[in-house]
Amino acid sequence: MITKDQLEQMRLLFFSLVKKRAAEQPLVLVIEDLQWGDPSTVEWLGQSIGSLVNTPCLTLFIARPEFNPPWLSHEAMRQNFHSLTLDSLRPKASAKIIAELAGEHLLDETMRHQIVAKTDGIPLFIEELTKSLIEDPSIENTTTGKSKIPMTLLDSLVSRLDHLGKAKESAQWAAVIDREFSYALLEACVPFEAQRLQDDLAHMIEAELVSPIGRVSQNMPARYMFKHGLVQDAAYTTLLKRTRLTYHQHVAQILETHFPQITESQPELLAEYHASGNNHTRAVDFWLLAGNRAKAHGALTEAKTFFNHAVQWIEPEDSERRWQALVGREDVLDLRGEREAQKKDIDALLELAETSGDDVQQMEAYNSPAIYAVKVNDFELQLYAAEASIAAARRTGNLILEVRQMPRKVDALVHFEDWTAAEQAAEETLTKLSEVTDDETRTYVFGLLAYSFGRMGDEIPGMSEGEVISAGFQDLMQHTDKISDADWRQSFLDNVIENGAIVERWERLCVAVPE
Task: Report the alpha-carbon distance of residue 378 to residue 331 in Å, rounded.
Answer: 18
pLDDT at 132: 79
* CATH code, 217: 1.10.10.10
- Which pLDDT score is estimated for 117? 84
Query: Could you tell me if residue 402 is inside a domain?
Result: no
* Per-residue pLDDT reduced to its tens digit, 368-413: 999 999 999 999 999 999 999 999 999 999 999 999 999 999 999 9
Task: Please tell me whether residues 249 and 307 are part of one structural domain.
Answer: yes
Q: Which value, in Å, is the radius of gyration of the alpha carbons in the chain?
A: 31
| Distance (Å, whole) CA 319 – CA 148 | 55
Together in a domain, 219 and 147: no
| Mean pLDDT of the chain, nearest integer | 83
Looking at 279, 310, 336, the residue that finishes a domain is 336
Task: Note whether residue 136 is domain-resident.
Answer: yes
pLDDT at 149: 61
Closest CA to 442 of 5, 204, 450: 450
349 domain residue, yes or no: no
Provide the residue range defining the domain that includes 262: 245-336
Q: Looking at the structure, do residues 331 and 250 belong to the same domain, yes or no?
A: yes
- Specify the pLDDT at position 118: 80
User: Which residue, of 336, 361, 395, is where some domain finishes?
Assistant: 336
Same domain, 327 and 263: yes
Residues 66 and 99 in one domain: no
Q: Are 44 and 2 in contact (CB under 8 A)?
A: no
**pLDDT given at position 138:** 61
Percentage of the chain surpassing pLDDT 90? 46
Please name the residues in contact with 85: beta carbons below 8 A apart, sequence gap of 6 or more. 65
**Per-residue model confidence (pLDDT) at position 439:** 85
What's the pLDDT at 504?
Answer: 52
With respect to residue 515, please indicate whether it lies within any of the assigned structural domains.
Answer: no
Same domain, 328 and 279: yes
Q: CA-based diameter of the chain, in Å?
A: 105
Whether residue 202 lies inside any domain: the answer is yes
* Domain end point (choices 28, 59, 80): 80
Cβ(57)–Cβ(18) below 8 Å: yes
Residues of the chain with pLDDT under 50: 142-146, 458-484, 487-488, 491-493, 495-502, 505-515
Q: Strand 57-61 to strand 210-217: parallel, antiparallel, or no bridges (unpaired)?
A: unpaired
Neighbours of 28 (CB within 10 A): 9
308 part of a folded domain? yes
- The pair phi, psi for residue 442, each rounded to 5°, is -60, -45
Pairing of strands 220-226, 210-217: antiparallel
H helices within 1-141, ranges in order?
4-24, 39-48, 75-80, 91-102, 109-119, 123-135
Q: Is residue 208 part of a domain?
A: yes
Inter-residue contact 409 to 386 (CB < 8 Å): yes
110: Cβ–Cβ under 8 A, 6 or more apart, which residues? none
Give 318-326's long-range contacts (Cβ < 8 A, gap of 24+): 318/281, 318/284, 319/352, 319/355, 319/356, 321/281, 321/284, 321/285, 321/288, 322/352, 323/349, 323/352, 323/361, 324/288, 325/284, 325/287, 325/288, 325/291, 326/352
Q: Are residue 252 and residue 320 in the same domain, yes or no?
A: yes
Give yes or no: residues 50 and 102 share one domain.
Answer: no
DSSP 393-426: HHHHT-HHHHHHHHHHHHHHHHHTT-HHHHHHHH
What is the C-alpha to C-alpha distance for residues 88 and 283, in angstroms, rounded to an integer? Answer: 41
Is residue 33 domain-shared with residue 50, that is, in the same domain? yes
168 and 155, same structural domain? Answer: no
Question: What residues are paired with 170 via a beta bridge?
Answer: none
Domain count, the chain: 4
**Same domain (yes/no): 260, 332:** yes
Cβ(119)–Cβ(129) under 8 Å?
yes
Classify burial at 5, counting beta carbons within 10 Å of its beta carbon; exposed 0-12, middle 13-18, buried 19 or more.
Answer: middle
Residue 476 to residues 187, 323, 434, 463, 506: CA-CA distances in angstroms?
A: 54, 32, 14, 18, 11
Q: In this structure, are 57 and 72 located in the same domain? A: yes
Residue 498: inside a domain, yes or no? no
